[in-house]
Each structure stands twice: as structure tokens, then as C-alpha cells.
Amino acid sequence: MTDALMPLSPARGGAAIDLSQAAVIFGRGAKATRALQPTTLRINDGEFVALVGPSGCGKSTILKLVSGLIAPSGGVVVVGGREPSAKAARIGMAFQNPTMLPWLTVEQNVMLPLKIVRPFRSEYRAKRKTEFRDRAHALLDQVGLKGFAAKYPWQLSGGMLQRANLCRALIHEPRLLLLDEPFGALDQFTREELWGVLQDLWLLHRPTVLLVTHDLKEAGYLASRICVMSARPGRILDDSPVEFPRPRTVAMTFEPDFVALNQRLRARIVEARGGSEELAR
């Protein structure tokens, strides 16, 4: 199932992501918006962390900090032992909006990281028609997009684009995966299927994963640790390990322990939104 992804040389040890008192403010002066309150978060190599919290609390902002797309307004962000820059860390990122380049086919979009990221880029010219293409097709098959490789992004539905987006984040076998609600636009069943795909990948290669999601069941199924954020501007309220055995199954999500975890997290989020249980009922 995962033969599209070749084994990786393990290079790990220590924290993969280290945010200390990292804060983000967009804009200046009177127009300034505080997007993230000083936040401290440490993620070890090979961990699978889910980040949940109310809308607008700064989850995407954290991902952008880690990927180096924005710089912290305060505090320190260290990724893979240095200042975040995707060059060094080999990051795979699935954005919240699946921004495919409209002039490339789905397949070309998925192969884009291979064209940019070392060490693949030097081989891109030679292999894009054979090996890399096979890899892209294998991934697309896995997420149920067989036969859509040659289509253009506008010919796909929102959920299909999201799946292609996931493929693009995975194709270069990143050591660090940043996924921003990658299954948000999918139906329950496709979503559960892709949970399985992602779990298998993680079990096989053990990349560090930071997954943003609104789905507590998804967080419980996939993550080895769940962080709950407070309402805007956010900070991390709760950080708890998830210790269910792996590989996990959808059936497990109906077991009492799992449901109990879900309910506890739910309560924290209700609290984080500043609402009371009464209102939420």
C-alpha cells in the first residue's frame, strides 16, 4: 500500500519542533491583530501531534511559524535544531485551502516538491517521466484519485483537490509533515479511509506530524498527543497523550475509553471558546 514511498534514512534525536513563548502579531500600530499569544510547544521527533481548538485561534498560524512562512513577533521558533526554513527540514505542508497551481495538471502539482526539494530536484528532469511519475500515481491511487492525474485543478471537486493536496505534502517523504485540516472537505467514509492511509504511512516512516483538525475523533484516531488551544488569540490550554494501541481502527473510536477522551477534550474546547456547557447543549 505504501510502496510509493521509499524507506528513509533515519536522522533524529531531540525535539523536532520547539516553540518557546512564540507569539504572532499581524500588522502594525492600530491595525495590529494578535493571532497567537506567547505559546510554548515542544514536539519530539517522530511524534504525531494533533492541534485542536476553536476557529480563528491561531492553529494555521502555528503551522506557518513552523514552516518558516512567517516569523514570530516574539519568542523563538526552532525546527530541526535551527531557525525554521523548509530547506533544511524537508517539510511537507498541506495548506488549509488546497492551493494547486492552476497551470499544472494534478500530477504535475503533486510532483512539484520533487522539482524543488533537494535531493530530488537534481534528478527531476531524468525521472519525472518514469519513477517520480509512478510515485505520484501510486499516491493518487491511494487517496482515490486514480485517473485524475492528467486533469487540471479546476476539473476536480473541493474534496478531490484536498486529497491531491495531501499527496503533494507526502510525495517527497518529508521528515516533518504539517497538515492543516487535510480531511475537512471529505465525507465521513473517505475521511476514515484516509486516516488509515495516513496512519500506515506514519507507522512505516515515523515522520514528525503536526495535524490541525476540528474533528476530535480524527485527533484521537491519529495522534499520539493532542493539544487544545484557547480561543483567539490562542495559546495551548491542554496537552494530553493518547495511548491507544496501534494500528488503530475506526471500531476503536466507539469504545468507552475513546469516547471518554473525546468528551473530555470537547469540554476543554467548549471552555476554550468561552462558552458554557449549557450553551453548547
Partner 1 sequence: MTDFAAVRRKLWAVVLIVGFFALWEVLCLALGVSDLVLPRPSQVFATLFERLPILWPHILQTLMTTMIGFVGGVVIGVAIGALIGVSKVAYDTAYPLLIGFSSIPKVAVVPIFVLWFGSGTVPAVLTSLIICFFPIVVNVATGLATTEPELEDVLKALGASKFDILWNVGLPRVMPFFFAALKVSITYAFVGTVLAETVASNRGVGNVMMSASSNFDVPLVFAGLFILAALGVALYVAFSLIERRVTGWATRRDDFAAA
Binding partner of residue 152 among ligand ATP, partner 1, Mg ion, none, CB under 5 to 8 Å per kind? partner 1
Q: Cα separation of 141 and 25, whole Å? A: 41
Of the pair 54, 113, the CB lying nearest ligand ATP is at 54
For ligand ATP, the binding residues in 58-77 under the rule CB under 6 A are 58-61
Q: Cα separation of 189 and 236, whole Å? A: 30
**Contact (CB, 8 A) for 218 and 48:** no
For residue 5, the minimal CB distance to ligand ATP (Å) is 28
Q: Cα separation of 227 and 240, whole Å? A: 7
Q: Which of 147, 226, 225, 214 is nearest to 186 (CA)?
A: 214
For residue 2, the minimal CB distance to ligand ATP (Å) is 29
Q: Is 212 in the site for partner 1 (CB under 8 A)?
A: no
What are the cell numbers at 164? 491531491
Of the pair 136, 227, the CB lying nearest ligand ATP is at 227
Q: Cα separation of 148 and 79, whole Å? A: 35
Decide: residue 43, CB within 10 A, 0-12 exposed, 13-18 middle, 19+ buried: buried
Size of the site for ligand ATP (CB under 6 A): 13
With contacts defined by CB under 6 A, name the span among 56-64, 82-90, 191-199, 238-246 that binds ligand ATP.
56-64
For Mg ion, the binding residues in 49-108 under the rule CB under 5 A are 60, 96
Of the pair 91, 231, the CB lying nearest partner 1 is at 91
Query: Binder to partner 1 among 6, 27, 99, 260 (CB under 8 A)?
Result: 99
